[in-house]
Every structure is written in structure tokens, then in C-alpha cells.
Amino acid sequence: MATPAPHPHPTRPDEAEAPARVTCGHHGCETICADCAVRSLSVCSALEPGELAHFARLSQSIHYPARATLIAQDEPAQHIYNLTAGVVRLYRLLADGRRQIVGFALPGDFLGLAMAKTNTFSADAVGPVAACRFTREGFGQYLEEKPHLLRRLHELATHELTLAQDQMVLLGRRTAEEKVAAFLIATRDRWARINGAHLHVPLPMSRQDIGDFLGLTVETVSRMMTRLARDKIIVIVPDGVRILDEARLEALCAV
């Protein structure tokens, strides 16, 4: 279990603030959304083509460098984001520096579902990231007029809640090996929705990040990865892992 000893995490919410580069201001031209690779996965799928044009005008297409902070815990929530490329880690910090990553956002994911005035977690870019950014106010006003968008938001929120419950089972009742196996399977499945099914699972986040997500130390994550590789269940490749034996990996998850 975690000890009170502080983690020396490089990424505190105050550092590495985003020198956010705005690509095109409002992206009023509908073609941008029309071309969006993740539209069918995101909130936008709730909108008609006509609505989409109006909706797009509320947002900015924006790029962030690695480690940029999109959301800072306990700060006023100014923006909400629809992630279009890259990976974002969502986390909470304890006073002594212990960190729990509560999720990784992948392309198509929505940040700020709660529409709350104050952020309940921090979020920063694992690598370079692209997103559609809305002001909370602007999005909120649009939401007033569009009950079906609210319904979609609620759908996404309850899906998140189910994922959170999955994670509670993992954190509370699985062994280190099961945690890592379940993480790889879940990550494979999430990428599959975006890119289609592959045996290659991209892991742009560090071992430390994975550990802070699974309630483990870096060393334990590394050891379990090594063990899975030794047992010929996966191969560790530069930017992630390749699954060699799906059946055995799934069996290790102990669903």
C-alpha cells in the first residue's frame, strides 16, 4: 500500500503551464468538424450537422505541448475540452505529494463533464495534445437550449462512473499482476474504439504514471511488465507493448 513518503512528482499543477497555441481561433468553418476523426466518439455525435456548425463556432481548436496543464484542481473551471489528439492524465494530489491518477483521457474524450464551477482534479498533457476548447459559460448556455446534448453528457457521465467503479474494483481487490494485465486489456480496448483493433497497445505515459493509476510503485509496474514479457504474454516495444497471447492476458485480469 502507499506510504506517507512524498513522491517527487515533476508535474505539479503550477509548473509547466500551457503556452497554449491557438491554431485558428474559432473554427467556424464546418469542414473542420466534418473531418474530425473522433467526432462519432465524442459529445458531438449528439448534434445534427446544422447544430454542429453553430457548436463549432463556440470552440477553439487548440494545441498544447507535453506537460501543459489543461485543468488545475481547486481552481475555477474556465474551460471544458473535447480532446482530439494525444493523451491527458487526470489526477489528484495529496498534501504530501502522493498522486492518484483517476483516468487517462484519449482522443474523443470530454474533459469537464461536471460543468462545475471548481475543478475537482488536475489534468495535464502526457505528450502533445490537440483539443476543441469551450468556455464553460458558452458551453453552458448552449446546453440550456439543447436537451439532447445534456442527455448525451449524462450518458458520458454515467459511462465514466462505470469506468470509475471498474477502477475501484481494480484498486481495492486485484493483485499487482492482475492490475497491470487489466490495464493493458482496458487500454487496448479504448484504443480499439479510436484506431480499430490492434495487438500493439500504445502507452505514451510513463511507468510512474501507470503506477499512480494502478496504486502501485514504478518498480512494481516494471517488474510485472517484465514478468509478462518473460512469460511470452507481451513484448515490450519502444512506445508501448505488443500483446502476444491475448487469451492468457485476459485470463490474468480475473474479471
The reply on whether position 95 binds a copy of itself by CB under 8 A is yes
Q: How far is the CB of 131 from a copy of itself (least distance, A)?
A: 20
**Residue 33 dihedral angles phi and psi, to the nearest 5°:** -65, -40
Strand partners, 134: 59, 80
Q: Whose Cβ is closer to a copy of itself: residue 86's or residue 103's?
A: 103
Cα–Cα distance for residue pair 255/245, rounded to 1 Å: 17
The reply on whether position 158 binds a copy of itself by CB under 8 A is yes
Nearest to 126 by CA among 246, 222, 25, 11: 11
Q: Whose Cβ is closer to a copy of itself: residue 2's or residue 29's?
A: 2
Q: Which of 71, 83, 105, 214 binds a copy of itself (CB under 8 A)?
A: 214
Cα–Cα distance for residue pair 211/80, rounded to 1 Å: 27
Nearest to 149 by CA among 44, 220, 77: 44
Nearest to 64 by CA among 111, 99, 119, 32: 111
Q: Which of 169, 192, 194, 199 binds a copy of itself (CB under 8 A)?
A: 169
Query: Taking every pair of C-alpha atoms in the chain, what is the biggest distance, in angstroms?
Result: 56
Q: Which does 162 bind (CB under 5 to 8 A by kind): a copy of itself, DNA, none?
A: a copy of itself
Residues in contact with DNA by the rule CB under 7 A: 1-3, 5, 10, 175-177, 206-208, 215-223, 225-226, 236, 238
Cα–Cα distance for residue pair 170/178, rounded to 1 Å: 8
**Residue where the block lists cell 497554449:** 20
Q: How far is the CB of 72 from DNA (least distance, A)?
A: 20
Cα–Cα distance for residue pair 127/206, rounded to 1 Å: 11
Would you call 23 helix, strand, or coil by DSSP?
A: strand
Q: Whose Cβ is closer to DNA: residue 149's or residue 224's?
A: 224
Q: How far is the CB of 30 from a copy of itself (least distance, A)?
A: 27
Q: Which of 14, 35, 50, 255 binds a copy of itself (CB under 8 A)?
A: 255
Q: Whose Cβ is closer to DNA: residue 119's or residue 220's?
A: 220
The reply on whether position 5 binds a copy of itself by CB under 8 A is no
Cβ of 112: how many Cβ atoms within 10 Å? 21
Cα–Cα distance for residue pair 231/244, rounded to 1 Å: 10
Q: Whose Cβ is closer to DNA: residue 161's or residue 169's?
A: 169
User: Where do contacts with a copy of itself occur on this chain (CB under 8 A)?
Assistant: 1-4, 92, 94-96, 98-100, 102, 113-116, 120-121, 147, 150-151, 153-154, 157-158, 160-162, 164-165, 167-169, 171-176, 212-215, 254-255
